Every structure is written in C-alpha cells, then in structure tokens.
Chain A
Amino acid sequence: MLKDITIGQYFPGTSLIHKLDPRIKIIIIALFIASLFFVTSFIPYIFIVAFIGFVIYVARLPLKFIIKGLKPLVFIILITFIINLFLTKGEVLVELGPLTITKEGLRQSVFMALRLIFLITGTSLLTLTTSPIALTDGIERLLSPFKRVGLPAHELAMMMTIALRFIPTLLEETDKIMKAQMARGADFESGNILSRAKNLVPLLVPLFINAFRRADELATAMEARCYRGGEGRTRLNELKLKKIDYLSLATMLVFFGAIIATRYIG
C-alpha cells in the first residue's frame, strides 16, 4: 500500500535530461513553476504541456509512472476542482438546489485543476530524472553564495540527503511494524477517525523510537569517519557546467520568458 508512492522517486536513465547539470535542472523547474503562476489563460498551457511532453519523451520516462505519481494527489485536485466549481460567482449555467455552477466557475475550476496537475508532474520530472545525491549537490552549490550571510548551505544539503535516503527505509519499516501489529490483531482500517487515530499508537511509538535510534547510530557512524561539516570538504565528482547546460538554460529562459510575457501581451 505504501509502496505505491512514486513522488520523489528517481527513474534511472542515461538520457540528455538525466545528464544535465542538476543546478540547471533546478533553475529550469523554478522557472517552470514561476511561469505556471503567471499564466492566466488556457493558450500558454499548450506550451506547458509541450514542455512536459518533450521532457518525458527525451528522458524516456514511462507515462504510467507519471500518472501513478498523480494518484495520491487526486483527492486534493478534486477538492480544488469542486470548490472552484461551486464557489466562483458569475454567469449562472446550472442550478442544483443551493449549489450553482457558473461559467466563470467552470473555467476557473478546470484551470486550477490543470495548474495543480502541471505543478505536480513538472516537479516530479526533476526528481524522476535527477538522483537524490545530484539533486542535493545542486542545491548545495546553488545556495553556496549565501554562505557569506551565514546560511549553512552544506548542512542543509546534508540534511536533505539524509532525509531523502531514509524515506524508503522508513516506509519499509512502517510496513513491517504495521504487519507485526496486525499479526497481534491490531486493526488500522476500520472505526471512526478518533479510534483510528488511537489505533495508530502501536505503529507510531515504535516508528519514532526506531527513527531516533537510527539517527543516533548514523551520527556515531559519521563521527567515526571524521565528518565535521562542510568546511574544507572536497568532492569526488565536482559539478561542472558544459556547453549543453548553458544552451538548455538559455533556451528555457527564452521559452518561459515568452510564456510569462503572454500575461502582459494581449
């Protein structure tokens, strides 16, 4: 049940997109997100879809994977859709008792639902094509100029690496403890919200204890290998920008610049 979550999962590959410098990819996705919020009409969405389609095609990502990633968020998307559908004022189209659907509401709800879907797929493109290590390396390098004002860039990146590294471990452990308690007759699936929350105690207590124990062990293991934070630390694979990186960035700057511009033209 928990294994179905694909958000943040890495899909290994050797495509152009996979090989792109993580810093460039992060910047492009930031541009992508920003332009999504600037868009006010449906037409620029065509370009957004084209961008997503292009990345999926070049990176050879299975479409099934992308759709599976949306699944856990269907609920949020639906709620956004329904709220926008019924609560936007304007020209009435249909009346269902106290509820009314307006022309503006219909447009707004489809628009917002699409925005959410694009937002999720767009960001998952980043994690699907970038290994967690490369991703945190990229973040660290992008944040390093802020070191001068006291931002602990390396520590933040290390924290992220560790967090990402332990997501599957914790999921696996949750699954195991859940099963162990179910083997003792625990019930996680029925009852009202209150009793369900209470039933989670036998799951959460061991999970937290184990997480703290793991953290403690990891800290000791890192100290034993003389880890002392970012100061003077060198790396095996230094990030270096190549021609293709500059080229992609330039193209995407123009591309998203154009999308953002549609807000102000016409």
Chain B
Amino acid sequence: MIIQLKNISYVYNPGTPFEKRALDDISLDIAEGDFIGLIGHTGSGKSTLVQHLNGLMKPTSGEIIIDGQSLSDKETKMKKIRQKVGLVFQYPEHQLFEETIYKDIAFGPKNLGLLEDEIDTRVKRAMELVGLDFEELKERSPFELSGGQKRRVAIAGVIAMKPKVLILDEPTAGLDPKGRDDILDEIRKLYEKENITTILVSHSMEDIARLVNRAIVMHRGKIAMDGTTREVFSRSEELEKMGLGIPQITQFMKKFKEKGNIVREDVLTIDEAKQEILDYLRRKSNA
C-alpha cells in the first residue's frame, strides 16, 4: 500500500458557529499502480481529502501512512512526502510565477535540492510528457501562453518532482473540449508510461468512465462507494440520490434495454456501446 488512511476525520472551525465536519471517519487504502477516480458533489470533502494525502492539511483525528511513513510522526519530513505525492490543484495555472517556463517547472526540483543537470533532464522530460515543446517554449514567459498550455506548464511543474503518486484536482475545469481531451490523454499516457499511481478528482462521469480503474464516491464527508468503475456506475439510483449521475452512454444503454432490447447495461464508453449494439443487431438478425 502506498497510501493508507485510518479513521481520518477533519473538522473546519471547531468550536465556532461555523463548525463543519468535512471528513467523517474515512479509512482508505491506495495500492501502487491504482488509477483512481474520486467523485462527489461540491462540498462532499474531495478537495479536503486530497490535501490530507500530502500533508498540507492535518486530520483532526486518525492516522495517515504514506509509503510506510506516518504523517503524525514528528521525524517524517514533509518535503519528502510532498515529493512522493504530487498534488495539482484546481486551476493550477494561477500559481505560475516565474519569468520563464523553464524556471517555473524547475521550481519544485530546485526545492528538492537537486543538481543543475538533474533539474535540466527533469524539466525536459516533464515538458515532453505533457506535450510542450522544450526548445521552443523554455525561455518564454508562462503568462504569454493560452489557458490550456498554462495548465500543462503547471502540471509539468508537479511531474518534474517525480512523484510516486500524482493527484489531480479537476484538471479539466474550464477548458474547451479539445483541451480537455488532450489533457486527459496525457494523464492517461503518463499513467501508462511512468506507472505513476494516479488519483483524478472529477465531476465528469464520462472522464471517470473512460480513464480510471477504481472509482471512489464521496458523500457528506464519507466514502459512499468504492469499487471498479463498472460496479460503481451500476448503482445509478444511489448515485442520483447523491446528486451525481452515470455516464450518458450508460444511461442510454439502460433506456435502450428498457425498450425491450437485450443488451448489457454496464457499458461505460461509446466504443463499448457501439460494439455491444452491433453484436446485438447481429444476434438479432441471425436468430
């Protein structure tokens, strides 16, 4: 297990009229190589949870163990933890600050105290992984770029720290469809190529269905569901009760089945649905 959470609770503003229990007794194991989708309604505690995973927030009660080290242990170096667990916040382009793209991506590695050569290779590699041209862009200001490209620079800045776990909090918020698909493809590639354990926080059921292999649903500070995407999306009534949904294509297949067509309803992507419908039509014409 790379990350273990044991009975984590977190309370905002304890003892004031604004007291709010954001996390309620959460226990969770994350294995190396997992690609997790974290789903939940606004205010369900997703962002609070991910900030616990690299020690940016300290739980009110409970224990967090990352790569064998307990975060409540005073000996544990937070910098080490933050190198191991990279966190890309929502709208990460808002934290760019350096004059050049190169320097901005090098900020993390530099803080780790790496040598110039190593920093150089890491920046190059990180830019390549997010699909930015190193030679063309390294000396440019990050503020000249488009929104989608800025976001890639920010993601590269976290990747350059070579984390074992990469957490992305709604990496596609506010992007156009093309920019969204590009970023998601790169995240997928990153997961496959570098074998980084990835946690993707998202509102889009389609993205979750397409990318991840384990889905965790949060509701009112608790983990409501945890399983494979297929398992989770088969419980559509419960999801709807929490103000969430299932991918449109899954919904379509469900309706299609209700109309008397004998098809599987646990379909998650359009390609899968196409295959299933073609198979069904073939079965029908053969019968």
Contacts and interface: CB of A to CB of B under 8 A. Distances in A.
A205 B98 CA distance: 8
Interface residues of B, number: 26
Contacts, number: 60
B95 interface: yes
**Which bucket holds chain A's interface residue count?**
20 to 34
Contacts of A62: 17
Interface string B112-127: 1000000000000000
Interface stretch (A81-89, A146-154, A172-180, A234-242): A172-180
Interface in B63-100: 79, 82-83, 86-87, 89, 92, 94-97
Nearest to B158: A184
A182 B157 CA distance: 12
Interface in B20-59: 51, 54, 56
A201 B97 contact: yes
B168 to A, nearest CB: 12
A183 B94 contact: no
A220 interface: no
B161 A184 contact: yes
Query: Among the interface residues A177, A180, A202, which one has the most CB atoms of the partner chain B within 10 A?
Result: A180
Nearest to A186: B111
A18 to B, nearest CB: 15
Contacts of A3: 13
B108 interface: yes
Query: Among the interface residues A64, A177, A179, A185, which one has the most CB atoms of the partner chain B within 10 A?
Result: A185
Interface string B125-162: 00000000000000000010000000000000110010
Contacts of B97: 201-202, 205-206, 209
Contacts of B54: 183
Interface string A179-217: 111111111000000000000011001100110000000
Query: Among the interface residues B16, B51, B143, which one has the most CB atoms of the partner chain A within 10 A?
Result: B16
A184 B111 contact: yes
Nearest to A65: B16
A68 to B, nearest CB: 9
A22 to B, nearest CB: 23
A187 B107 CA distance: 12
A3 B56 CA distance: 15
A182 B56 contact: yes
Given A179-B56, A201-B97, A185 B89 contact: no
13 contacts: A64-B15, A65-B16, A176-B89, A179-B51, A179-B89, A181-B107, A182-B56, A184-B108, A184-B157, A186-B111, A202-B97, A206-B96, A209-B143
The 5 closest A-B pairs by CB, nearest first: A185-B111, A205-B97, A184-B108, A180-B95, A183-B87
